[in-house]
Chains A and B, each alone.
Chain A
């Protein structure tokens, strides 16, 4: 088993190097000179060369590449952000990851819980009205753009709700966990984005889990259980769920990266200072150190989740280990 894990890790090293290479190349070649963005309107032409030198842009690409790799390897996050002088990349990372986690993790947990339950109910009532209705709802939910949910959600869920009820339940935007305490703060600022992300993801996940459950329900052990006289609920929860856990966990693992991506939009729209929002801002500012560092972190998360998925598969299917 360990052998397999090590092989997977080693295998992903060239992948990681490739990601960094592509990213840095994309940022540097051909696009407008970031030195201009840095200096702005009253730039003195003599200063341009100076700034380029100070930002390290005049070194050959290969040198810049190796230098960055070394920084990643030594976990050096001391580069100063170009867009926010005085703040290092590491500092920005350390403050940004918490809000992102506060949206993605609850979103993941709630989506998984609800989708699994709905998927179970659907699978169990396969073909009947409950199932058909739920599946129609799922497809309908899947066919509307994420953005529409955000726009409508923000307007009705935050602004209008406040008008109707009188006090603010969900904030239109913003993020402050200290004012009223952690839980109250979370509910005010994070609950609405989480609700939206749950609604968006539920369509896809419910259908998947339903498919998994249905497949499980046709297996032999289920017939045996029913033949033995086990009650419906027991059959559903104890037998079916337990055996479906592996594909469920695998699915949850694979959707984790997408949740991070989805949180970018939520953070941008709801002004939550998470990693996605910061990265988006950096791209618009052409803040290379931040873009590179954040993407390097994202890539690590992706790769680790990929490896984890592979390992889980290997646990299930020993044939995979031998490849």
Chain B
């Protein structure tokens, strides 16, 4: 017979026993005694906002995918870690930088000898084999295959001779019932021998060199793709410094790759690096840290708290915590953090945050003086400085043009100005232009549709824009939507005036200027639908030029052309603030590339 008393008592006892086991639970240990008793170096790092969706470079596209892939895979070229302003490339899998022939389109590459893929079951005997030239081509060819569902074809489009034709032919064959043949050679991809190969470009396109450092071009082994199939997205097999250990919904962990090639800590320390680089790291073989544990933080506050309690090695400073960490006036770190020895670092981003006009729109588009005047009025009424102080703690760089700070073509004066009338705030002048456009004080001007993508404080930002334009009599109809709807509206040329942000895929202004290149019109990336023959001609000309004073001059001309047409209201580039624990050494934060984990070191004596 059921006796309630006993059952309740039993339950209570069980609970109290369980509760009494609570004390002295420590957080994850920071050192693991490894084989032979040597303490392993372990660090915890955050992945902010989102998690990687795939660790397959052929299917990756976002910065999060980049971070994961960069741990496990190598690209032909990599960024020289300590160099900034400008960024410089150096060989990673290659012995030296690729050599370009006289014709400007034939590039010859030489791979290092003895680079092996990590040990994995997909190889016979479980041992990884040496990386050869064929692997490079295979990795790129699979991105041409529709079955891979790659998002990165745009990197190879119209770049290598015969590659586009190869893609169309093979996909057609696969669709017709055959299969996509990876062994069919591509005209512009020539294997000379196991360690030497050549690539022939369709035209001398300079940006190709940057593409070779992008994670999507990492080298993957065919055996792994065939062995794992779709699951290759979760089971990486690379030549990189780390191997994937675990991947859960909450985080990923990586361990040192014992067969990683010989690579040593860079010797080219720049000015100021002595404070960052630990003495013991100089000349050390990479990677230095044995185990890296990433946690995904969809929300900022837990990440911030974890940094505060000393678990995370570094953190980006969320806007809400900016004033906790920094003094608004001096921009210096607050005393509580200084005492703990925490270091602050500012990372300027290659951002182009702007408001775009649809140049083909009836109301706001067009190249006649009246239309230019209308747009210029809006531009002069927009006050990016107010946005800077209201939403970005004055940490944003407001500049003229579409070329972010740090790149050739950016206006290199203190105010980042290209001319006196390229940005606001100048109400009097704005009103003048508005009158010139035929709408004195806004009379007769219909409401302008302003499309904005939903994000953290986008409603408030949109409100501010509406208020600023309201000052000269222009009325905005703010339409909030999620990002994909905005892209859809742009692709259909429906968005009249919209807020947009572009992060440079590589540190060259060509990436931003491409946004105004005629043939890239919607549904391409030229959402402005800007059409200017001379601009297009100059663009095609500079595509094949190496960085030089001449090229920069042309960039400036192109930039000013677009500015004179008042095609957009811009621009802002954010600066991200990082806080770094005193025990995390060799960290020089950047968001341009993500393979820097191998350089990091931990000074255990400083860790609590």
Contacts and interface: CB of A to CB of B under 8 A. Distances in A.
Do A and B touch, yes or no (CB under 8 Å, in the complex)?
Answer: yes
Contacts of A37: 483-484
A184 B347 CA distance: 40
A289 B149 CA distance: 17
Nearest to B154: A42
A110 to B, nearest CB: 7
B456 interface: no
Contacts of A277: 249
Contacts of B22: 169, 187, 191
A120 B238 CA distance: 64
Interface of A: 32-34, 36-37, 39-45, 47-48, 50-51, 54, 80, 83-87, 95-96, 109-110, 113, 117, 159, 162, 167-169, 172-176, 179-180, 183-184, 187-188, 191, 237-238, 241-242, 269, 271, 273, 277-278, 281, 286
B419 to A, nearest CB: 30
Contact of B491 (A40, A45, A117, A269): A45
Given A42-B61, A43-B151, A242-B2, A85 B54 contact: yes
Contacts of A175: 250
Interface string B289-306: 000000101110010011
A108 B385 CA distance: 54
A68 B231 CA distance: 23
Contacts of B26: 167-168, 180
A168 B25 contact: yes
A273 B248 contact: yes
A175 B302 CA distance: 13
B395 to A, nearest CB: 24
Given A159-B305, A172-B305, A95 B487 contact: no
Contacts of A117: 8
Nearest to B24: A167
A44 B157 contact: yes
Interface string B134-167: 0000000000001001011110010000000000
A238 B231 CA distance: 58
A37 B249 CA distance: 20
A167 B25 contact: yes
29 contacts: A32-B481, A32-B485, A36-B488, A37-B483, A39-B151, A41-B61, A42-B151, A42-B505, A44-B153, A45-B524, A54-B146, A54-B149, A84-B53, A85-B56, A85-B233, A86-B56, A86-B230, A86-B234, A117-B8, A159-B305, A162-B309, A172-B306, A173-B302, A174-B302, A187-B18, A187-B22, A188-B25, A269-B299, A271-B250
B4 A238 contact: yes
Contacts of A50: 146
Interface string B480-497: 011111011001000000
Query: What does DSSP make chain B's interface, helix, strand, loop or mixed?
Result: loop
Interface in B102-158: 146, 149, 151-154, 157
A100 B524 CA distance: 44
B275 interface: no
B230 A85 contact: yes
Contacts of A191: 22
Contact of A187 (B25, B151, B152, B249): B25
A32 B479 CA distance: 14
A33 B151 contact: no
Contacts, number: 127
B567 to A, nearest CB: 20
B23 interface: yes
A273 B8 CA distance: 31
Contact of B5 (A41, A184, A237): A237
B276 to A, nearest CB: 29
Contacts of B53: 83-85
Interface string B24-54: 1111100000000000000000000000011
A169 B25 contact: yes
A41 B152 CA distance: 10
B389 interface: no
A97 to B, nearest CB: 12
A44 B154 contact: yes
B232 interface: yes
B523 interface: yes
B404 to A, nearest CB: 16
Contacts of B491: 45
Interface of B: 2, 4-5, 8, 11, 15, 18-19, 21-28, 53-54, 56, 59, 61-62, 146, 149, 151-154, 157, 230-235, 248-250, 295, 297-299, 302, 305-306, 309, 481-485, 487-488, 491, 505, 523-525
Nearest to B249: A273
Given A32-B485, A36-B487, A40-B62, A172 B302 contact: yes
Nearest to B5: A237
Contacts of B524: 45
B23 A271 contact: no
B25 A40 contact: no
Nearest to A54: B149
A80 B229 CA distance: 12
Contacts of A183: 18, 21
A167 B28 CA distance: 12
5 closest A-B pairs by beta carbon, nearest first, are: A86-B233, A273-B249, A36-B484, A45-B523, A32-B485
Contacts of B62: 40
Contacts of B8: 113, 117
A297 B53 CA distance: 24
Most buried by B among A34, A36, A80, A278: A36
Nearest to B309: A162
Given A187-B25, A238-B4, A286-B484, 20 more contacts: A32-B485, A39-B151, A42-B154, A42-B505, A42-B525, A44-B157, A45-B523, A47-B151, A83-B53, A85-B59, A85-B233, A86-B231, A86-B233, A87-B233, A159-B305, A169-B25, A173-B302, A184-B21, A269-B299, A271-B299
B594 to A, nearest CB: 17
A168 B249 contact: no
B171 to A, nearest CB: 9
Contacts of A42: 61, 151-152, 154, 505, 525
Contact of A86 (B146, B232, B309, B484): B232
Q: Which of B8, B153, B249, B491 has the most CB atoms of chain A within a 10 A radius of its CB?
A: B249
A231 B2 CA distance: 18
A123 to B, nearest CB: 15
A274 B104 CA distance: 55
Contacts of B152: 42
Contacts of A241: 4
A184 B484 contact: no
Nearest to A45: B523
Given A184-B21, A273-B248, A168 B2 contact: no
A120 to B, nearest CB: 10
Contacts of B482: 32
Q: Which of A34, A50, A87, A113 counts the most chain B CB atoms within 10 A? A: A87
A237 B4 contact: yes
A208 B183 CA distance: 72
B249 A95 contact: yes
B149 A43 contact: no
A284 to B, nearest CB: 9
Contacts of B483: 37
Given A36-B484, A45-B524, A87 B28 contact: no
A174 B18 contact: no
Contact of B250 (A32, A87, A159, A273): A273
A168 B59 CA distance: 39
Nearest to A99: B249
Nearest to A168: B27
A184 B27 CA distance: 11
A69 B157 CA distance: 40
Given A40-B61, A40-B151, A169-B23, A86 B250 contact: no
A85 B53 CA distance: 6
A28 to B, nearest CB: 14
A148 B525 CA distance: 44
Contacts of B295: 174
